[in-house]
Amino acid sequence: MEDAYARSVSEVLDFFEVDSTKGLTDTQVSQHARLYGKNVLPEGERTPFWKLVFKQFDDLLVKILIAAAVVSFVLALINGETGLTAFLEPSVILLILAANAAVGVITETNAEKALEELRAYQADIATVLRNGCFSILPATELVPGDVVEVSVGSKIPADMRMIEMLSDQLRVDQAILTGESSSVEKDLESTIATNAVYQDKTNILFSGTVVVAGRARAVVIGVGANTAMGNIRDSMLQTDDEVTPLKKKLDEFGTFLAKVIAGICVLVWIVNIGHFRDPSHGGFLRGAIHYFKIAVALAVAAIPEGLPAVVTTCLALGTKRMARLNAIVRSLPSVETLGCTTVICSDKTGTLTTNMMSVSKICVVNYVQHGPAVAEFGVSGTTYAPEGFIFDSSGIQLEFPAQLPCLLHIAMCSALCNESLLQYNPDKGNYEKIGESTEVALRVLAEKVGLPGFDSMPYALNMLSKHERASYCNHYWENQFKKVSVLEFSRDRKMMSVLCSHKQMEIMFSKGAPESIISRCTNILCNSDGSTVPLTATLRTELESRFHSFAGKETLRCLALALKIMPNGQQILTIDDEKELTFIGLVGMLDPPREEVRNAMLSCMTAGIRVIVVTGDNKSTAESVCRKIGAFDHLVDFVGCSYTAAEFEELPAMQQTVALQRLALFTRVEPSHKRMLVEALQNQNEVVAMTGDGVNDAPALKKADIGIAMGSGTAVAKSASDMVLADDNFATIVAAVAEGRAIYNNTKQFIRYMISSNIGEVVCIFVAAVLGIPDTLAPVQLLWVNLVTDGLPATAIGFNKQDSDVMKAKPRKVGEAVVTGWLFFRYLVIGAYVGLATVAGFIWWFVYAETGPKLPYAELMNFDTCSTRETTYPCSIFEDRHPSTVSMTVLVVVEMFNALNNLSENQSLLVIPPWSNLWLVASIILTMLFHILILYVPPLSTLFSVTPLSWAEWTVILYLSCPVIIIDEILKFFSRNSYGIRFNFRFRRFDALPKKELRDK
């Protein structure tokens, strides 16, 4: 029944044909079960494991690598190769791909846990009226029309319409749906609100929420998927995971690289068609296969096999640094996404505020001799910890607050007229509440006031253990006054009273809504001397004025406190006793903003990140909190920047688009609105981070580019998120954004390093093929260079230090290519030099080396006809391992020098020296040790087709490698000066990564 909240009790009962005094009959239960289904959340269709595995290989570069591995293996078999040499290259490639696939499968499996966690919020049992009798049944057996009784502590088993109140009031904690900490009072009246949200449906009990006060009966109107919890599940199922900006750019880069690789491979094969018939190949077909193998080697050289592993490693390093900042990353790619976040949609309660009600203002009557004088006191402390001080109106701290009569009696009333508990949790290291937030705030106030008669108060309290300190003063008052009778809070009276006995004297303490308490008061307690005087009309007006100021301008939640001396021996309280009260004081409380939030929000503005506060709270309260945070001081008013969900939905489409660009506060929201907001912002090409803690937030967290759950939040929210804030603090998000930007900068640096290195390998093979000289590098040697010598320095580049101005730059555009324009030109130049130096080392050994054959260059170019001609040298010289060892070593050493170039994009090595990143220095040393190991240890040198080198050969290698630093220093100089800017403009027209629309909607 969709609109049960707008129908009367009788209409709802008639709809389900149920008698509220007898419940459903067994026949009706069977009919309704067939008609409406079972009261369980249906299991979503899980992605089969094999599909998850295959999904990880759905990438163009990965497919090319798999093809290269298969072709390499087949060609090895055709050539008669057996053993380790035939399997080495394809095996290593497949191992890398398997490792990357494993990481992807684990990440996607975690995402599906959110739906499983949702089941934990379903009730297990329910007290149901059937056939005129109450019985306790499994909640799964409920059907629409069932009459259910709920009481304090009950978990609501299905969506239900209230039909009968069995106590003065019923309050429900529905924070998992609305995110708001305060419990909601329920009633029987139908709702007439249009576009009603959960907060407006005060006659509906929602599945999974918990009763915190009272007792009532309700009729089931929705079960299973047709509940508020079911709607959240459906929304999560409809949400596809967003691909991160870095993943998109790497995918585009892969597509671009694949086209280039295909083109060059075909070109190399076509260029050498004339050599297919060379006698050295043994026939046209074998010649074609030989040059096809070279093309495959070229593909292996062009693809940075280690790129996925290095990206994963760099992101993992970032997650460790974030964990130290209290940001626990659940999804590695989200680390980088933070760096380009343009909008943060932040929950108000618990993120911008402490989610702990706290008394901040006290109002009492000081004296009345010379006209009414109302005194105000401020209270410090923003958590449930009994730590804080009381200040007078001039800001001076009160040394002994309990010596003032009104403050003393406020402490008494707060401790006694109270049904909550405050305790210390040693496991979490914080103070926790049991009961209503407002009542716990009063208990904390009693602790801050302290006890009378001790000069050492309140400092003596600091000597207590935290467990004792939690309620020491409250326990003192509870021991001094014995509770005799309690008159519970009711909606019509809007107050609560408790009768206490103290030294043969009976006193009634009352607390409640200020308008209810003040109207029942005839006297006031004076704070100056403790005297009781009549409450005059003038003084009553003054108190009401202060109350309206607290509640209106300062949006504080106000309670008034009063007492009354009762006749000796009275044991029972009645409503008639709640009159002729003595007014004690007025307290104003709020969910206070976190102290560090203001600076964090200002950092966001500096960094070009917009913050939108999203809350289920009402508009005026939320606007007041935003003012207190201080982050919206730049706004003259909230007109055009603050909307309720209903107001926003009523706007025409064009106005919604304009409103989104100015939106700063979004109130009275429910789950569907949060998800709608995320989608609307993403349609405007914004990168959205969404925070949340309740079950209601899960769909939006899943939909956002990066979902951020609170550490104190629900398991569902955490499972649907990419990141969890251990301290629930907005400031932690800002620190994480800075870390995300630094990680992206480092990621960009090592991607450029690997690209320039791979360009060098491609140039090496391509030039050798065009010149017609022997193969400079064997495929297994290329694989070694790509994995070990490229991988270690590239990973170490991830340790480059964060720039000091990382949060002063605007967010990078999500369409920004990893390598574009002038930078691509720079790395083409570097790559070309790397390739040419490698070929030069190969030719040098044949033509000029003292230990080489000193062949004429023409002979080297005609090596393939050696067996058919008379030569002064043996043809076996072309099988010598020295030349390929020299070229491979040149490639390794030149890439080590190139790694130093990537300490900074534009800064010279004279400004940022190598020792600024000791990890990089260590990785270069380790890489060279590995390389020397394979050169000089026989089994390894045989495996990689290399041989030991002489000192003379090492000298030439260093001469060929060093110039790469000089070349890049010149290019960096141009980048830092106007020439670089001019070149940047010139080359910006053709991006290395083709631009395309980021979001395919």
Question: Which positions are annotated as active-site residues?
Answer: 347
Q: Are 477 and 418 spatial neighbours (Cβ–Cβ below 8 Å)?
A: no
* Start-to-end C-alpha separation, the chain: 34
Q: Are strands 557-566 and 505-512 parallel, antiparallel or unpaired?
A: antiparallel
Neighbours of 155 (CB within 10 A): 17
Q: Are 723 and 315 spatial neighbours (Cβ–Cβ below 8 Å)?
A: no
Which tokens sit at 825? 């030109």
Q: Are strands 133-138 and 125-130 parallel, antiparallel or unpaired?
A: antiparallel
Neighbours of 257 (CB within 10 A): 21
Neighbours of 266 (CB within 10 A): 11
Which tokens sit at 947? 């041989």
Rg over alpha carbons for the chain, rounded to the nearest Å, is: 38
Q: What is the largest CA-CA distance in the chain?
A: 132
CA angle 341, 345, 351 (to 5 degrees): 115
Q: Are strands 495-502 and 505-512 parallel, antiparallel or unpaired?
A: antiparallel
In the three-class reduction of DSSP (H, G, I as helix; E, B as strand; rest coil), residue 352 is classed as helix
Q: Are 367 and 529 spatial neighbours (Cβ–Cβ below 8 Å)?
A: yes
DSSP label at 552? I
In whole angstroms, what is the distance from residue 924 CA to residue 919 CA? Answer: 9
In whole angstroms, what is the distance from residue 114 CA to residue 700 CA? Answer: 12
In this structure, is the dihedral angle defined by the CA atoms of residues 786, 787, 789 and 792, taken in order, positive or negative?
positive
> Which residues on adjacent β-strands are paired with residue 724?
328, 709
In this structure, is the dihedral angle defined by the CA atoms of residues 276, 280, 285 and 289, taken in order, positive or negative?
negative
Task: Report the amino acid identity of residue 587.
Answer: V
> Which residues on adjacent β-strands are paired with residue 155?
210
In whole angstroms, what is the distance from residue 609 CA to residue 659 CA? Answer: 17
Q: What is the DSSP string of 658-670?
A: HHHHH--EEES--
CA 708 to mean position of chain CA atoms? 3
Closest CA to 122 of 251, 225, 212: 225
HEC string for 4-35: HHHCCHHHHHHHHCCECCCEECHHHHHHHHHH
In what helix (H) or strand (E) does residue 220 lie, and over which residues does it extend? strand 215-222
In whole angstroms, what is the distance from residue 392 CA to residue 528 CA? Answer: 13
In whole angstroms, what is the distance from residue 831 CA to residue 753 CA? Answer: 10
